[in-house]
Structure 1
């Protein structure tokens, strides 16, 4: 039976339709808004009692209380979410989901925040063992169905902790807007509607082989959720202490910022603004480690917390022979300060006076730090120096010279016809991560005119087997169309034979491959009948989170240690190494155990919590 992922892939992707991520909120650590290229800004909708926010039962730990980070905060929410469904005459269906999702790499806690764009199509009951074509507002794709007519494609772009601008590169955007959208929102997630804004049209359609030729089905009805932003947020750019002042820098598209006062140290201070940049020089009467900037134009007011830099660089110049550095610290006791270029120490500043360091080549930036004050990096400004000498012109490339053989004549490829071959391998043992091609290097073999590479082990596939650098791949383990768990993956060594030949003469060498599976960690595993079923975790290969092709996860569950395993879902591993299987709606049964199998060889069995 062919795999449901055999030729599944995106065939048309729209150009990135998002333009900018807003300032990060100090309340929950996510951007306050995202802006698309049509000028529409959307912000988080985090009100549990607001049906337009689209939360499902169980999303908010205590729905009777206001959302608060991190104690009562959803594990995921959507800046934008749209979906459509096609019901087939046979009773099957195709479901389209697209969105800009906020989530956490592992747990709901600071430092785990990620935002990514998603395109997902799941089809059930289509024409079996066929290629089905889909078009949607942001592009087109194909899915190869299995024997039941099932298949799926999930394309998540740029889940990376704290790097919220990576989501701008995804396929989602500009944001769709429903014709029946309530004021201030992109749509009502409970009421399907026609939409506008899709760069590839505003219809979800599928074409599949039928008994009388291709047949096409489509819908223009979408559910949409997303709240149009009214707040602008604020970014805290820097706060630098020097003497009796702290210089505070911030930016926003709003117009009314202030530095929140600290009792007994400094009063609330209005910031001056120009072209989105804001600045205030705050007189202080004590030590300050952090300042808060508040945007009073937002409702509720947004804030940014800025740690105060303990070191300020006054000079970093190079005149062609001497690097000069001067810096001040918030406290005289912080001296001496250390001047570094990367990890290399250049010298020591005993006080605030300029220090000089003769050198032939200056660094592009220097970092000044101390044991008690935070370091700060500054660019080196070139103020003088002679022009560097011109380089020597390389000689012209000569003609190709034919091989010279001794004895003559030369055989095929410049090898003497009567020479004995010798097979040589760069390494006799190799680690072979599952589903990751590994090259066997036989390029130092001598007197060979032909090569072959063979194995009797069915766990591996060999390509380029007639070259001196063949490629060996340990075949994938679990597949998304598996109906039941597989026996445990074998990591027993694999023997591969490499042969070099010249006419009738041959020479062979063997290499031992040790299959390496991925490392799986479970971060969430719970089951509550009719309420929630979720198994989530991470998968890394040799310590790497982003592996191509993506690792596929298959999850099974059972109600007791003697019950049969039931397949509950599949998931690809995203670029941050995370995966999540969360069937919705949750089944009306409580499972007690889960089993996770991966395409890269891992099997993990554990208990579900209630």
Structure 2
């Protein structure tokens, strides 16, 4: 996770969010948008392999009759939900690929919390118009609080901390929209906080679209509140903690999203492919592979640099690891595969080749103010090949060590790069 901070002056709140270090969504449709879709991207795919279409279906819930499975918001003079959707004459000014909302109301404590997560379609000028389409990923937290102090809200997509100096209605009022850019460019939402998509533990649900007669699949029913799965951190809840031991939590969400029927490659992100030879004074060799892919139910494997297939182990959050004990004979490369078709029907297997690199470890990085001397010591995990090591921008290590005068000021940090591709960066310790 990374930490970000924003100040909301109106509410006198300092918000600190803990967010994923990688894009939460994996891909967006790059085909030319169609009029039937309001010229928006047809779908977004998350890192667990689920793809959601822009939810414009007028299919209704069989559990709560008379209510839509998509979040369609009537707007007088703009969008009449009782009539067929047509762009731009009868098209919603807001539509969604995904929504996941929750609420906490507690009379005893005075807490009234609204939580919104969404991937939204809208128009830069607010009304449906050609060449004005934008999309964004939204996290919204609004809380009425009775007491000043620090409040922590943990939710499926991170943790936000707020300092409230003026309690009252919506004393916490944060909206974080990421992705709004040039109209017609839908890539920005991939960098937002939302994803993987939350899904009802009771879904998917099937309902008929009255306009097409087709049966469609939905990740949840927004007319119900249900427990969900899908949080990248395993926090499938909203919890608020605050002064005086306050701690309230809900695991019930209203979720909407229409599963796409498009066949897409299984998401696969390579985190690390490294090797070692001859460490600990022995002939030990190994190849280590780390990837992000859909969690078990799906599968991941790799073929090592010697051609041996190796099964990988995965976590419920989608982190996978595998090791081969074969000597790669040098850097080499591995071939990695992931297949999620057992979970998402129609999902296509994905294969990637990734170069093996050694692991560089900096054991010492010091700078003496007395003589302007920089000292760096580092080793490579390839003790057999002994690849050359270089301090980036400074010079080569000899026998695993560099000593060099650097003026006029010390470097804040150093990076050591191996001839076989590995690297390590460390802060420099400043000595008198």
The alignment's TM-score, normalised by the length of structure 2, stands at 0.50
Other structure's SS at 2:221 match: coil
2:43 corresponds to 1:33: yes
Offset from partner CA, 1:544-590 (integer Å, 9 cap, x none): xxxxxxxxxxxxxxxxxxxxxxxxxxxxxxxxxxxxxxxxxxxxxxx
2:120 corresponds to 1:112: no
Matches within 5 A, 1:82-161: 82-88=100-106, 89-106=108-125, 107-124=127-144, 126-145=145-164, 146-148=166-168, 150-160=171-181, 161=183
Shift of 1:10: 3.2
Partner of 1:485: none
Distance 1:75 1:120 in 2: 19
Distance 1:31 1:21 in 2: 7
Partner of 1:177: 199
Shift of 1:8: 2.5
Q: How many residue pairs align between the two structures?
A: 233
Shift of 1:29: 1.0
Q: 1:5 to 1:138 in 2, by over 3 A?
A: same
Q: 1:144 to 1:3 in 2, by over 3 A?
A: farther
Shift of 1:77: 0.4
Offset from partner CA, 1:257-291 (integer Å, 9 cap, x none): xxxxxxxxxxxxxxxxxxxxxxxxxxxxxxxxxxx
Q: 2:231 aligns with which of 190, 198, 204?
A: 198
Shift of 1:46: 1.1
Shift of 1:204: 0.3
Partner of 1:76: 94
Structure 1 consecutive aligned stretches of length 4 or more whose deviation exceeds 6 Å? 397-400
Instruction: Say if 2:88 and 2:129, in contact at 8 Å, map to a contact too.
Output: yes
Shift of 1:128: 2.5
Offset from partner CA, 1:350-382 (integer Å, 9 cap, x none): xxxxxxxxxxxxxxxxxxxxxxxxxxxxxxxxx
Instruction: Say if 2:25 and 2:45, in contact at 8 Å, map to a contact too.
Output: yes
Partner of 2:274: none
Q: 1:123 to 1:24 in 2, by over 3 A?
A: farther
Instruction: Say if 1:121 and 1:154, in contact at 8 Å, map to a contact too.
Output: yes
Instruction: Say if 1:75 and 1:108, in contact at 8 Å, map to a contact too.
Output: yes
Partner of 1:543: none
Larger Rg: 1
Shift of 1:221: 0.4
Distance 1:61 1:134 in 2: 35
Segments of 5+ residues of structure 2 without an aligned counterpart are: 1-7, 61-67, 207-216, 265-404, 409-432
Shift of 1:7: 4.0
Distance 1:155 1:57 in 2: 24
Distance 1:147 1:177 in 2: 34
Q: 1:163 aligns with which of 179, 182, 185?
A: 185
Instruction: Say if 1:47 and 1:53, in contact at 8 Å, map to a contact too.
Output: yes
Partner of 1:219: 250
Shift of 1:87: 1.1
Partner of 1:66: 84
Q: 1:122 to 1:24 in 2, by over 3 A?
A: farther
Offset from partner CA, 1:59-80 (integer Å, 9 cap, x none): 7622332101111100010100
Distance 2:45 2:253 in 1: 21
Segments of 5+ residues of structure 1 without an aligned counterpart are: 234-396, 401-610
RMSD over aligned Cα, in angstroms?
2.5
Distance 2:156 2:83 in 1: 37
Distance 2:91 2:52 in 1: 19
Matches within 5 A, 1:312-391: none
Q: 2:27 aligns with which of 20, 23, 35?
A: 20
Distance 1:398 1:179 in 2: 59
Instruction: Say if 1:101 and 1:116, in contact at 8 Å, map to a contact too.
Output: yes
2:55 corresponds to 1:45: yes
Shift of 1:158: 1.3
Shift of 1:142: 1.6
Instruction: Say if 1:8 and 1:141, in contact at 8 Å, map to a contact too.
Output: no
Distance 1:189 1:133 in 2: 26
Distance 1:10 1:79 in 2: 27
Distance 2:168 2:158 in 1: 26
Q: 1:9 aligns with which of 5, 8, 15?
A: 15
Instruction: Say if 1:185 and 1:227, in contact at 8 Å, map to a contact too.
Output: yes
Shift of 1:91: 4.0
Instruction: Say if 2:73 and 2:94, in contact at 8 Å, map to a contact too.
Output: no
2:243 corresponds to 1:209: yes
Distance 1:48 1:221 in 2: 24
Other structure's SS at 1:53 match: coil
The alignment's TM-score, normalised by the length of structure 1, stands at 0.36
Shift of 1:5: 4.0
Instruction: Say if 2:97 and 2:120, in contact at 8 Å, map to a contact too.
Output: yes
